[in-house]
Amino acid sequence: MGRHGTIAGRKAAQDSKRAAMFTKYAKAITVAAKDGGDPEYNAGLRVAIEKAKAISMPNDNIQRAIKKGTGELGGASYEELSFEGYGPGGVAIIVDCLTDNNNRSTSFVRSTFDKHGGNLGTPGCVSYMFARKGVLIIEKTDEIDEDALMEAALEAGADDMVTEEDSFTVYTEPSAYADVYQALAGAGYEFVESDIEFVPSMESAPTEEHDIKKLRKLIDVLEDNDDVQKVHTNCGIDLYEE
């Protein structure tokens, strides 16, 4: 994930980018619906819909995205793209895109790296520093029993759970992510964030303040683009700590 931070910080970031998240989640629903428009028989679609509802996406938007994916409505056909490179301070970055125009997305990502002190590399140049994992973050509250949560997660197929200062982070293999999500959601747990992420196996952190500012700007510009679904880094510090 690469963005260390508090639950409050995560929620604030989500709220500030809610409109952009609607667009990104609609794309994710459209792509998932290609495997079938009935969420009861399509776990990936079911998870995408639940995540969209968690940020209060209107049901009309959700249904329209599903119909685009199943072909009932005309619309763009999205392709997955991934870019790898280094940001200021030597931080490794992976950018996941869903796009209907490869040239547009490639040009945007390349120019954004160039403008903000990064260096776009070739496929595989940084991905070896990450492992693909399902990541589910649950806010720590007095009502949640840590042992019960861990037991439920492991029974559903999770690999591990890590207790943070203000949260619990459940890790899964990508293939088990939907099952674990459904099991924990069905048990009443709510997620602050959940997705299949590139989790860094080694971290890097800028030491110069100007590099931290440039890295923050680079990530923000990438995340604000509608084609960009997710930005993963191995940054070992909270870039958004006040």
Q: Which of 88, 86, 44, 45 is nearest to 63 (CA)?
A: 45
The string of pLDDT tens digits covering residues 64-83 is 999 999 999 887 789 999 99
* Residue range 1-32, pLDDT digits in tens: 444 566 665 555 555 566 678 999 999 999 99
What pLDDT, on the 0 to 100 scale, is given for residue 45?
94
pTM: 0.86
Percent of the chain predicted with pLDDT > 90: 81
The alpha helices in the chain, defined as continuous H runs, are 7-16, 18-32, 43-54, 59-70, 102-115, 146-156, 177-186, 209-223
Q: Give pLDDT, residue 18.
A: 67
How confident is the model over 129-157, as a mean pLDDT? 96
Confidence at residue 223, expressed as pLDDT on a 0 to 100 scale: 94
DSSP β-bridge partners for residue 172: 134
- pLDDT for residue 212 is more than 90: yes
pLDDT value, residue 1: 43
Question: Across the chain, what does the average pLDDT equal?
Answer: 91
- Mean pLDDT confidence for 112-116: 97
- Beta bridge partners of residue 131, listed in sequence order: 199
What the chain holds in terms of domains, given with CATH numbers, is 7-70 (1.10.10.200), 79-124+204-233 (3.30.70.980), 129-200 (3.30.70.980)
